[in-house]
């Protein structure tokens, strides 16, 4: 069964450093998403991406965040200058509204645990 994959599974970085989290969405999907989950808290929406541009973003997704689809398979989340409070699990998801019976069911990857020291 196709699945969303994410790398790395765990990333440790120093405060102020840039990190890039990578995702490979399900191959025929057209919409891509990033969510995050701070330890012990809810899963929070960050951004959605369609047709090579951001379709929606939350208030969390400020100027230090960016997303990109650099090629036909990868989808990345870049955090320009990490802060301690960026430590969280980051989940990528993808969906295909065309085949989803009129809904856009999102399928999630296993996540990347980001630790900012």
Partner 1 sequence: DAKTTQPTSMDCAEGRAANLPCNHSTISGNEYVYWYRQIHSQGPQYIIHGLKNNETNEMASLIITEDRKSSTLILPHATLRDTAVYYCIVSSYGNNRLAFGKGNQVVVIP
Nearest to 30 by CA among 94, 101, 102: 94
| Residue 103 CB, nearest approach to partner 1 (Å) | 5
Smaller CB separation from partner 1, 14 or 85: 85
Q: Does 42 bind partner 1 (CB under 8 A)?
A: yes
Q: Does 25 bind partner 1 (CB under 8 A)?
A: no
Q: Does 96 bind partner 1 (CB under 8 A)?
A: no
Residues in contact with partner 1, counted by CB under 8 A, come to a total of: 27
Distance between CA atoms of 90 and 77, rounded to whole angstroms?
9
Q: Does 55 bind partner 1 (CB under 8 A)?
A: yes
Distance between CA atoms of 41 and 108, rounded to whole angstroms?
17
Residue 114, Cβ density class (10 Å: 0-12 exposed, 13-18 middle, ≥19 buried): buried
Region binding partner 1 by CB under 8 A among candidate stretches 10-18, 32-40, 68-76, 78-86: 32-40
Q: Is the dihedral of CA 31, 70, 91, 110 positive or negative?
A: positive
Applying CB under 8 A, among 31, 65, 79, 116 the residue interacting with partner 1 is 31
Q: Does 13 bind partner 1 (CB under 8 A)?
A: no
Distance between CA atoms of 72 and 41, rounded to whole angstroms?
33
Query: In the chain, where does DSSP find H-type helix?
Result: none
Applying CB under 8 A, among 43, 69, 76, 96 the residue interacting with partner 1 is 43
């Amino acid at each position: 069964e196709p699945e969303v994959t994410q790398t790395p599974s765990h990333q440790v970085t120093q405060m102020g450093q840039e990190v890039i989290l990578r995702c490979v969405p399900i191959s025929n999907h057209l919409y891509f998403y990033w969510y995050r989950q701070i330890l012990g808290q809810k899963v929070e929406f960050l951004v959605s991406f369609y047709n090579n541009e951001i379709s929606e973003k939350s208030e969390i997704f400020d100027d230090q965040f960016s997303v990109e689809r650099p090629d036909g398979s990868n989808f990345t989340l870049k955090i320009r200058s990490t802060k301690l409070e960026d430590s969280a699990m980051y989940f990528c998801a993808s969906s295909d509204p065309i085949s989803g019976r009129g809904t856009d069911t999102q399928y999630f990857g296993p996540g990347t645990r980001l630790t900012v020291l």
